[in-house]
């Protein structure tokens, strides 16, 4: 099955172990009722969306001594109600993993579905830039949420504070100026890390670029003001031989993103790709015994 599992870090399976331990810290009373007899459960996709999170779902049941047989590929477009997988193993072990697995695949698939819809809007309009998520992720669940972005066709943006240097208003206010903040960042980030600066005006963007920023984020700009500012900044610095990436962010949603598409913008980032996203509905049903 084609997944993005080869991207996952060496410690990802320990997260699965922690999630299982969280859900059953002491006695398994329901498991006592059903016992260890071998059975089969079917994973049903019950709402439209993109299937994502296959390796996580599979690992949950493998850690419990069960086997998962998939009938859809990761990235598959669900048309409910659809049989997605069979899970084989002791009934108690299947039920131990049931809720953790469903919670995980529902959220990961919801994020992938949002990313997929955004990608379709990009393709429909011919926007040449990047649509990205943000670091507005659930603590302890970031790996799964960023994974869902990739499956759906979006850019993950920076994974964490160590991935790229992003200087926002609080950094600038705490340092005294954009120039001072960029200088301190360059002193420790070296050549390997890009520097991005959040800017509220063309003047701030010019200061950031002049100080050595690689990317400027135009925060909460909208409509013609966004396109005008981005165009002006690019033209000014192109005349000086500098190419700079421009990102826009702040209040962008699936419903409004088309208003941000323009040739002057290189990156559009959305916190709404992970915050407030609708889940995809799945259920796992153990087959009745005769």
First to last CA, the chain: 33
Whether the pLDDT of residue 74 is over 80: the answer is yes
Cα distances (angstroms) measured from residue 145 to each of 85, 113, 129? 21, 12, 22
CA distance linking residue 98 with residue 42, whole number of Å: 11
Tokens matching residue 69: 């047989």
SS3 27: coil
Rounded Cα distance between 251 and 257, Å, is: 9
Q: Mean pLDDT throughout 169-178?
A: 96
Q: Region 189-215: what's the mean pLDDT? A: 96
- pTM given for the model: 0.94
Residue 198 has pLDDT above 90, yes or no: yes
CA distance 92 to 112: 30
What does the mean pLDDT of the chain come to? 95
- Cα torsion for 13, 17, 20, 25, to the nearest 10°? -170
Across the range 187-200, mean pLDDT stands at 95
The one catalytic residue among 13, 46, 136, 168: 136
Nearest 5°: the CA angle 201, 205, 207 is 115
Q: How far apart are the C-alpha atoms of 3 and 68, rounded to whole Å? A: 15
Active site residue 194: no
- Cα–Cα distance, 206 to 68 (Å, whole number): 55
Is 62:20 a contact under the CB 8 Å cutoff?
A: no
Residue 167 near residue 185 (C-beta atoms within 8 A): yes
What are the E-state strand segments in the chain? 38-45, 49-50, 67-70, 77-78, 82-90, 130-132, 165-167, 195-199, 215-219, 245-249, 267-269, 282-286
What digits encode the pLDDT tens for the residues 9-65? 999 999 999 999 999 999 999 999 999 999 999 999 999 999 999 999 999 999 999
């Amino acid at each position: 099955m084609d997944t993005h599992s080869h991207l996952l870090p060496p410690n990802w399976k320990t997260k699965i172990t922690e999630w299982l331990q969280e859900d059953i810290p002491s006695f398994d009373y329901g498991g006592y009722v059903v016992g260890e007899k071998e059975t089969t459960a079917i994973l049903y996709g019950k709402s439209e969306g993109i299937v994502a999170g296959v390796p996580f779902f599979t690992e949950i049941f493998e850690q419990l001594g069960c086997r998962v047989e998939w009938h859809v590929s990761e990235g598959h477009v669900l048309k409910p109600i659809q049989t997605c997988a069979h899970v084989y193993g002791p009934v108690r072990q299947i039920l131990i993993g049931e809720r953790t697995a469903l919670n995980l695949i529902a959220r990961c698939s919801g994020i992938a579905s949002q990313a997929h819809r955004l990608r379709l809007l990009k393709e429909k309009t011919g926007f040449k830039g990047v649509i990205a998520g943000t670091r507005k992720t659930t603590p302890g669940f970031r790996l799964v949420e960023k994974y869902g972005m990739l499956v759906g066709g979006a850019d993950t943006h920076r994974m964490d504070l160590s991935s790229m240097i992003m200087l926002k208003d609080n950094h600038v206010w705490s340092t005294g100026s954009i120039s001072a903040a960029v200088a301190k960042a360059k002193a420790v980030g070296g050549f390997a890390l890009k520097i991005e600066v959040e800017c509220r005006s063309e003047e701030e963007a010019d200061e950031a670029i002049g100080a050595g920023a690689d990317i400027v984020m135009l925060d909460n700009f909208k409509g013609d003001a966004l396109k005008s500012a981005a165009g002006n900044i690019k033209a000014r610095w192109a005349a000086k031989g500098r190419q700079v990436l421009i990102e826009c962010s702040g209040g962008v949603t699936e419903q409004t993103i088309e208003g941000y598409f323009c040739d002057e913008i290189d990156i559009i980032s959305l916190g709404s790709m992970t915050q407030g996203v609708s889940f995809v509905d799945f259920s796992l049903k153990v087959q009745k015994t005769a």
